[in-house]
Amino acid sequence: MAELLDAQKTLSSFSLKPYLANTDDFVTTSVLSTSNGVHVQVNQSSGIKLAYSAIISQDQIRLWSKLDKSDETLTELNSELLDDFIPTLSAVTFGIVETGEIVASYDDFSLPNVTGKLKLSSNLTDNTGEPQAGVRIGIAGPPNSFVFLTGIDASVNLIRSGQDILEDTVTGKLKGSVRAFKSWIRWSRVFTTGSVLKTLNLHLLTDGFFELERYQRPIFERRRLFDEGSPMMSLSINRAHAPEGPSPPAQPEKSQKRTYFPETMLWTMVETDASGRASESLQLPDTITSWDLTAFGISSRHAIQTVQRPFQVTSFKRFFAQLTLPHSLIRGESLLLRVLLFNFDSSNRLNINATLLIDSKAFELTALTAAGQPAEHAIVNVEANGVGLAVFGLRPKLVSEAAAVTVRARATWPDGRAEVDEVTRTLPVLPEGRTVRRAVTALLSLRGDPTGSNSSAETVQSAEMVEIYWPEAVQADGSILVPGSQLLSVSVVGDVLGPAMDGIGGLVRTPRGCGEQNMVDFAPAVFIYRYLRSAGSDSSATARLRQKALDAMRTGYQRELTYRRDDGSYSAFGKADAAGSVWLTAFVLSVYAQAAEFIAVDPAAVTGNSIMFLLSRQDPSGRFTEPEGARVLDTSLQGEAGKASLGMSAFICSALMDVRDAVELLPALRTPEWPLLPVSTALRRCVDLFKLEFKQRLADFDTRDMALAAYFLWRARLAGEGGDATKSLAKRVWEAFNARAESDHSARLYFWKGSVEVTAYGVLTALLAESSSEAAAAKAALPALQWLVSKQTDQGGFHDTQSTVVGIRAIAAFATATGASGPTRARIEIFAKAAAVAATNSSTVINIEPDDRRVVRRRLLGRGDAAAEFSSVTVRAEGTGIALATAAWQFNLRDPERRSLVADWTESSGLGLRLAAPPKVLPGAAFAFSVCARASGTQGMYILTISSPSGYSPEEFTRAGAVPGLQLVEAGPLQIVFYFDRLMAKKEVCVQSAWRRDVPVLDVQPQKITLQKYYNPELVNTVFYLDPALQSVGRCQACPDCPGCSPPPSP
């Protein structure tokens, strides 16, 4: 007891700080640790009539207690009631004086066992070694811990800070808002009851009174919550690396070739032994840099373990060459390749001979010697602890994903020693203009009877022909076909989901920067993983695809949680939007519920306040409506009737069924609130709604609404919702929907409304309607499925998010329900026919075996003029099973460019673009301009993309929220993407961008400025612009410090 009192005297000193009130009465609060948990001691002055105490952590009230006058101790909070991840508790006491005034005090207590300590070490002297040297990283921490070890290039961390998991990162995240207010306490001179409430993020409902905080200054004004900018790298000599003393004795010439320059050196998991030790061995990459190594771990004794700060291992050489390359070049541009030659020898001047080694087919040299010969050599003398510069001029001749650029630098010391550093980097070379892509996918059924009844040993033949259309050299709109940009390829896979599985992580080409678009990878990964699990194959290819789908699910789930609002709803931009969307919340919950079978999903995210939000938006008739201010960026997703359509109500009811099915399958998803939620009542209301509406006016409904309703009603029928009436209604709606089916010219492919999404729901409903027979399901759904897969892009997705999500769900369901996941063994012959009689046809053969049927095989049929010769591709298959063949071709068109800022609008597809002078130009920026946009027609989400000129990167740009409708801006080295949730026809919106030169590039190609409607990418307007600052740029203007150029004047 004496120890407790002594500890109390020490820990309660917080209450002795100045406190402002109208009374002299007070309360004090102290938090103490005991063997069983946490003990809170409260002292009250004689004038306190009644007191209340609470224990708070992470913005949750863990314990609330009323204290009588005689009480001085709040009931202990036992250790078993404490979450392992709670680093700090706050105890607060409110005392009520006879006059009605409320006084308060609080105390914080840090729990000691939340975090453990990890220490890293290496076997390198001074933790420094040369590239390609072996290094062993040692880990010391708690015994029997799983430790996740990462090693990131320190220069990358400078640009993208805050990526590491360190001790203060973890404790700061766990402390939550309490930590955010701590700095406010440091500058406040006195405490009041109001300041205590604000510090602990509490609201007090009372008829008493208390002193508010005296300072009205915003509490965050004195605290920088986020970095306003990231530090940039600068070139300097770090003399600390240069060893002092004489040079080592002469040695034979040493040569090293460096080709491996990753951003991440290490990403692995190790397990410490009983003594808490572990190690990881690796080879240092070829980058001359420092590597930030961090680690975090878990064990049975510690919820999480971290290092206090990054542990650095340095890769270093006395002499090395460094190439300065842009992120990419466009064919036709010229690069002044700057090669920095570093001499870290503190005693000797080095004579360095640098040689450029390039493939003459890929590049041509543009710099000439005095004798008029291509300049591929340079001799540079570099002083001790100095840096030299060699510059080579080169121009790419061919388009390439990774053109190799090699520089061989040979340094000679005064005593005759020599050392060679040969560096090879790759440079993407892009074609000029804009890329136009086309793809046609054909389903080759090798199953004999389309019902699938034939023997797996029966050999069947199938053939499909795809016509290839190449543009004329000059288009009607003035655009010009870029010579050599044509590309023709064919891919084949022996699985109906093959293209989608191959494309996980990149199913669509549009940016994904909002809560709706994040689902484009997340949701298909769930359907694909379920299909792969049901297929039951243990091949290595299938195992890799499963892991790929799992990774996409985990990433998508964590990312989608960032768009969740406080009321549990989701919206495109999360808390930045005025209200959450019922439609998007249902979409997210449906995917969460299905993913929970495969990955860890928080039960509260599935059956918590998100489901309550959905149920609150259903009216007594059964119809769901969006709240005031809620927005779905593609209103077509909600159906023809908009925010209260029958299609949207059917969609939400289907999502509720997904959640209910998941809870029945996984009882761990139940939250305490789940049994009280009226989910069954909501589903019955949905059924009653459709009974009433379709009974009265079935023929009047939009086809999309009917598709969604048919799918929901068949699910309800199979689940026993609504009895015989539901059975009858489901059948009637399905028949009416089928009556609206269209067919292609051959009358063997069926689709609805020309819509991927509607046809996909048709496939899903057909599978339910014929679920009693695998053969009948295949027969009913196959014609629509064949049309569906024909609309897939070469990436495996469809043209927008919802089409991709529902389309892949339908294909996966078909494969699972009809046995299409069975083994495929086939011989595929690909025949490319040349248009000209004198030209040569092309043919190739691909064999598919059951064990590798899910591996996509691609064949390049031609590039440039060789591709343009072909007018059609015929794929013939012989064997058993199902195969998909995709013919993909692309070409580039160069549009007329703008070379000055003019007030004229460029209009296309209802989208308008105009270039204008910027309101201001930042000092140091090479050039700047503004882009103004407008749009007519239906509203929705719009994307404005401005590409970076080669060798330039964004210096400054308009930020999100600065202009009406601008919700998000993503800026990278290659482009700036502006996300608008609306554009208007009569009121333009303008954004500014400023650019800086990073790498000297000559003959710079125009920037591409594109405005497109997010959910209908075919509606697009593109303008090419070449700023006057980029026109006729000379060598010395682009590279003032290049040899032969005068240095820039000093400021």
Higher pLDDT pick, 934 / 190: 934
Tell me the C-alpha distance between 708 and 701, whole Å.
11
What pLDDT was estimated at residue 593?
95
Q: Do the two domains 2-112+182-199 and 896-1038 of this chain adopt the same fold?
A: yes
Most confidently predicted of 62-71, 292-301, 581-590, 834-843 = 581-590
Least confident of 39-48, 365-374, 412-421, 722-731: 365-374
Beta bridge partners of 858: 491
pLDDT value at 714 more than 50: yes
Question: Is-contact 286 259, C-beta < 8 A?
Answer: yes
pLDDT, averaged across the chain: 82
445 — pLDDT class (breaks 50, 70, 90): confident
Nearest Cα to 118, choosing from 312, 300, 290, 309? 309
Nearest Cα to 842, choosing from 876, 869, 879, 865? 869
Instruction: Write out 45-74 in H/E/C secondary structure.
Output: CCCEEEEEEEEEECCEEEEEEEECCCCCEE
What pLDDT was estimated at residue 478?
76
DSSP annotation of 640: T
Least confident of 60-64, 170-174, 251-255, 819-823: 170-174
pLDDT value at 563 more than 80: yes
Helix (H, G, I), strand (E, B) or coil at 540: helix
pLDDT value at 610 more than 90: yes
* pTM listed for this prediction: 0.74
* CB within 8 Å of 685: residues ≥ 6 apart: 618, 620, 621, 622
Strands (E) located in 534-685: none
915 — pLDDT class (breaks 50, 70, 90): very high
Q: Which CATH number fits domain 563-738: 3.30.2290.10, 3.10.350.10, 3.40.50.720, 1.50.10.20?
A: 1.50.10.20
451 — pLDDT class (breaks 50, 70, 90): very low
Least confident of 186-195, 675-684, 1020-1029: 186-195
As a whole number, mean pLDDT of residues 1021-1032 equals 90
Higher pLDDT pick, 308 / 170: 308
Tell me the C-alpha distance between 763 and 751, whole Å.
9
Give the pLDDT confidence of 280-315 residue by residue, as tens digits: 999 999 999 999 999 988 887 766 788 888 999 999
In the block, tokens 């068109």 appear at: 893
Asked if the 115-173+251-315 domain carries CATH number 3.20.20.80, the reply is no
Domains in the chain: boundaries: 2-112+182-199, 115-173+251-315, 319-430, 434-449+457-471+483-494+824-893, 563-738, 896-1038
pLDDT value at 1047 more than 80: no
1044 — pLDDT class (breaks 50, 70, 90): confident
- 984-1015: b (≥16 Cβ within 10 Å) or e: eeeebbebbbbbebbbbbbbbbbbbbbbbbbb
pLDDT value at 5 more than 50: no
Supply the DSSP string of 991-1029, one letter for each residue.
EEEEEEE-S-EESPPPEEEEEEETTEEEEEEEEEE--GG
Question: Is-contact 406 356, C-beta < 8 A?
Answer: yes
Q: What percentage of the chain carries pLDDT values higher than 90?
A: 37
In the block, tokens 């998100």 appear at: 610
Q: Which CATH number is associated with domain 896-1038?
A: 2.60.40.690
> CA-CA distances (angstroms) from residue 198 to 96, 103, 194, 216?
19, 14, 6, 12
Dihedral of the CA atoms 356, 359, 362, 365 (nearest 10)? 40
Higher pLDDT pick, 915 / 167: 915
Tell me the C-alpha distance between 737 and 752, whole Å.
9
Q: Give the sign of the dihedral formed by CA 373, CA 374, CA 377, CA 382.
A: positive
pLDDT value at 231 more than 70: no
The fold of 434-449+457-471+483-494+824-893 is Jelly Rolls (2.60.120)
How close are the terminal C-alpha atoms of the chain, in Å?
72
What pLDDT was estimated at residue 745?
55
Q: What angle do CA 154, 159, 162 make, to 5 degrees?
A: 80
Question: Is-contact 870 834, C-beta < 8 A?
Answer: yes
- 541-559: b (≥16 Cβ within 10 Å) or e: bbeebbebbeebbbebbee
Tell me the C-alpha distance between 830 and 429, whole Å.
29
As a whole number, mean pLDDT of residues 364-393 equals 84
Helix (H, G, I), strand (E, B) or coil at 458: coil
Q: Work out the number of other CB atoms within 10 angstroms of the CB of residue 700.
A: 9
Q: Which two tokens stand for residue 1043?
A: 């040899």
Q: Which two tokens stand for residue 700?
A: 């009047």
Tell me the C-alpha distance between 763 and 501, whole Å.
19
Tell me the C-alpha distance between 252 and 64, whole Å.
78
Question: Is-contact 774 816, C-beta < 8 A?
Answer: no
Least confident of 625-629, 686-690, 799-803, 941-945: 799-803
What pLDDT was estimated at residue 360?
86
In the chain, what is the greatest distance between 2 CA atoms, to the nearest angstrom? 109
What pLDDT was estimated at residue 576?
82
Question: Is-contact 929 918, C-beta < 8 A?
Answer: yes
What pLDDT was estimated at residue 282?
94
As a whole number, mean pLDDT of residues 155-183 equals 56
Give the pLDDT confidence of 856-884 residue by residue, as tens digits: 889 999 888 889 899 999 988 888 888 88
Q: What percentage of the chain carries pLDDT values higher than 70?
A: 82
What pLDDT was estimated at residue 329?
95
Question: Is-contact 807 760, C-beta < 8 A?
Answer: yes
Question: Is-contact 160 173, C-beta < 8 A?
Answer: no
What pLDDT was estimated at residue 701?
77
pLDDT value at 452 more than 70: no
Tell me the C-alpha distance between 887 and 442, whole Å.
9
pLDDT value at 614 more than 90: yes
Q: Which CATH number is associated with domain 2-112+182-199?
A: 2.60.40.1930
Give the pLDDT confidence of 518-528 residue by residue, as tens digits: 888 889 999 99
As a whole number, mean pLDDT of residues 619-623 equals 91
Tell me the C-alpha distance between 335 and 356, whole Å.
13
In the block, tokens 């599978």 appear at: 767
The fold of 319-430 is Immunoglobulin-like (2.60.40)
What pLDDT was estimated at residue 185?
32
Tell me the C-alpha distance between 27 and 96, whole Å.
10
Supply the DSSP string of 75-128, one letter for each residue.
EEEEGGGS-TT--EEEEEEEEEETTSBEEEEEEEEE-TTSEEE-EEEESSGGGE
pLDDT value at 129 more than 90: yes
What pLDDT was estimated at residue 85?
56
As a whole number, mean pLDDT of residues 186-213 equals 75
What pLDDT was estimated at residue 11?
33
Give the pLDDT confidence of 733-742 residue by residue, as tens digits: 888 888 888 8
What value does the CA radius of gyration of the chain take, rounded to a whole number of Å? 34
Give the pLDDT confidence of 950-1007 residue by residue, as tens digits: 999 999 999 999 999 898 899 988 899 999 988 988 889 999 999 999 999 999 999 9
As a whole number, mean pLDDT of residues 621-650 equals 71
172 — pLDDT class (breaks 50, 70, 90): low
Give the pLDDT confidence of 481-506 residue by residue, as tens digits: 988 889 999 999 888 888 888 877 77
What pLDDT was estimated at residue 121?
94
Question: Is-contact 296 114, C-beta < 8 A?
Answer: no
